[in-house]
Chains A and B, each alone.
Chain A
Amino acid sequence: MVHPFLILHWLEQQIHTHLGDHVTHMWFVMLVLILLAFLASRCIKEVPTGMQNLMEAAITGIENLIEETMGPKGKAYFPMLATFALFILVSNLIGLIPGLYPPTANLNTNAALALTVFAMTHIVGFKEHGVSYLKHFMGPILALAPLIFVIEIIGHLARPLSLSLRLFGNMYGHEIVLMIFIALVPILMPVPMMLMGVLVAFIQTFVFTLLAMIYIAGALEEAH
């Protein structure tokens, strides 16, 4: 249940390619982000104005959040986490414009993001601790290790599932609620729902980025 007329869907039909809506809209989001980054960094000034000001505020906010949750070691993962945050935020907000569709309202996009976080967590863990990263899965008592290992593996596999399903459910649910409200009362009634959509977009971005940070920070710390 999406917006009845999607601009990019129409464009895609004109050139007869068989791309999913989420793919074309993801490319659109990428274009928007590249354009934003270009506009912000075109002429960097000591005293920022306009676009540079906005982007600097966003970047500083993410940086402070990383500093708070991951400590000094987290600085190295700033590019990846900031990319996640900006991409998800723009993707979520784009759904509020009529004729566009949030790519995060499709499970495929979210699964890709969540699997990236999942792979990154373990790559970081093995890079930081070597083989002794496996101690993270063993628990404190060696005799109980086989039991704890299975539980830990299930717990780690549940992470990408919950990350992707949470974002998907929120964005898709919002789309459906909006469509139902539009079908019931088309005038003025969906506006409060769209206002809540702005809130949901920001909160879900915050939650996804924060959970990614916490997972990576968990892989960075020593086994207990």
Chain B
Amino acid sequence: MEFFAWCMLAAGIGMGLGSFGTGIGQGLAIKSAVEGVARNPGASGKILTTMMIGLAMIESLAIYVFVVAMIILFANPFTADVLKLAGAAAH
């Protein structure tokens, strides 16, 4: 059953690392956008649109990690094999 403990660890640490990088990336993007709007408030509409696309692109990295974590937790392809092996070892 150590397998499932490692799965939990992998999902948690993976999600943490993924959101760490994504957070820094999005923070940098928003910093530049806010600076741009502060210098030229007239361009705020265009900056907002561009920033949204950029944020969505960066965010998808964290979303991929989230999907992988969900696969590890809820739809792990190896669960049946591991349970079978564990059952064989118990007998």
Interface residues of A (CB under 8 A from B): 68-69, 162, 165-166, 168-170, 172-173, 176, 203, 206-207, 210-211, 214
Q: Contacts of B63 on A, CB cut-off 8 Å?
A: 165-166, 169-170, 173
- Establish whether residues B59 and A166, one from each chain, have CB atoms under 8 Å apart when the complex forms: yes
CB distance from B68 to the nearest CB of A (A): 10
B28 interface residue per 8 A CB criterion: no
- Interface residue tally on B, bucketed by range: 10 to 19
Q: Contacts of A169 on B, CB cut-off 8 Å?
A: 60, 63-64, 66-67
Q: Nearest chain-B residue to A172 (Cβ)?
A: B70
Q: Contacts of A207 on B, CB cut-off 8 Å?
A: 52-53, 56
What total count of A-B pairs have CB within 8 Å?
34
Contacts of B46-83 to chain A: CB distance below 8 A = 49, 52-53, 56, 59-60, 63-64, 66-67, 70
CB distance from A67 to the nearest CB of B (A): 13
Interface residues of B (CB under 8 A from A): 49, 52-53, 56, 59-60, 63-64, 66-67, 70
Give Cα A173–Cα B69 distance, bound, in whole angstroms: 11
Q: Contacts of B60 on A, CB cut-off 8 Å?
A: 162, 165-166, 169
- Establish whether residues B64 and A210, one from each chain, have CB atoms under 8 Å apart when the complex forms: no
Q: Contacts of B53 on A, CB cut-off 8 Å?
A: 207, 210-211, 214
CB distance from A44 to the nearest CB of B (A): 30
Q: Contacts of A170 on B, CB cut-off 8 Å?
A: 63
Lowest 3 A-B CB distances belong to which pairs? A169-B63, A207-B56, A166-B60
Give Cα A173–Cα B66 distance, bound, in whole angstroms: 8
Partner of B52 from the list A165, A172, A203 (CB cut-off 8 Å) is A203
Give Cα A85–Cα B56 distance, bound, in whole angstroms: 16
- Establish whether residues A166 and B70, one from each chain, have CB atoms under 8 Å apart when the complex forms: no
A210 and B59 contact, Cβ closer than 8 Å, known pairs A172-B70, A173-B66: no
Give Cα A176–Cα B63 distance, bound, in whole angstroms: 13
Q: Contacts of A173 on B, CB cut-off 8 Å?
A: 63, 66
- Establish whether residues A210 and B49, one from each chain, have CB atoms under 8 Å apart when the complex forms: yes
CB distance from A65 to the nearest CB of B (A): 8
- Establish whether residues B66 and A166, one from each chain, have CB atoms under 8 Å apart when the complex forms: no
Q: Nearest chain-A residue to B62 (Cβ)?
A: A169
Give Cα A176–Cα B64 distance, bound, in whole angstroms: 16
